[in-house]
Amino acid sequence: MTDSPAPLADPHLRYDATPGRRDIVVLGSTGSIGTQAVDLVLRNPDRFRVTALSAAGGRVGLLAEQAYRLRVDHVAVAREDVVPQLREAL
What's the confidence (pLDDT) of residue 72? 96
The DSSP code for 62 is H
Domains and CATH numbers, the chain: 22-89 (3.40.50.720)
What's the confidence (pLDDT) of residue 40? 97
What's the confidence (pLDDT) of residue 20? 84
- 46 near 25, Cβ under 8 Å? no
What's the confidence (pLDDT) of residue 13? 59
What is the reported pTM?
A: 0.78
What is the per-residue pLDDT across 12-57, written as a single tens digit (0 to 9) for each?
655 566 678 899 999 999 999 999 999 999 999 999 999 999 999 9
Q: How many CA atoms lie within 13 A of 66 on its CB side?
A: 31
Farthest-apart Cα atoms in the chain, separation: 61
Indicate the SS3 state at residue 13: helix
